[in-house]
Amino acid sequence: MKNRVMYLAFPLALLLSCHSGPTEETQQAELQGNVMAIHDAAMAKMEDIFKLRRSLRALRDTLEAQQADSTTLLVLQRDISGLNEADEVMMSWMRQYQAPDSLQHQEAMAYLQAELQKIERVQTVMDSTIQAARTTLTQYDQQK
């Protein structure tokens, strides 16, 4: 009986020890999934950028009509410009990104690592400009 167990256990142990982890395809798909997950989260924020930009422009136009001080108008314009930049950074990344389907594994992994860094930068720019615009709008809402 012990011999039978040994004969079954040895091939099973050998088979399990040969498994070396995720395949190249799995690694590449996982990295590409990470890039696209950040892209998708950033895309969801595009509507926030649009709404905030519209609100800041309306506030700027109102304050200009009331002849507000130039410092206030500069802050509003700075935030509007920041939102414009965040929008353009995202659109630029999307225009240049191409799925690395035709690349060899190592080239694809290097490309995806670079794209991951780029889309993380896009996300940072978007988050910081959205936060700055919200802070500005909150300050003016509290002054009313």
> What digits encode the pLDDT tens for the residues 101-116?
899 999 999 999 999 9
Q: Where does 2-140 show beta strands of DSSP type E?
A: none
Give yes or no for residue 2 having a pLDDT over 70.
no
> What digits encode the pLDDT tens for the residues 15-69?
555 556 678 889 999 999 999 999 999 999 999 999 999 999 999 999 999 988 8
- Residue showing tokens 């506030």: 59
Contact in structure between 27 and 109 (CB atoms under 8 Å): yes
Contact in structure between 99 and 128 (CB atoms under 8 Å): no
Under DSSP, the state recorded for 138 is H
C-alpha to C-alpha distance for 77 and 82, rounded to whole angstroms: 8
pLDDT in the model for residue 104: 95
> How is the chain split into domains, by residue range?
22-143
- Residues 8-12 have a mean pLDDT of 56
Per-position DSSP letters for 80-106, written without gaps between them = HHHHHHHHHHHHHHHHH----TTS-HH
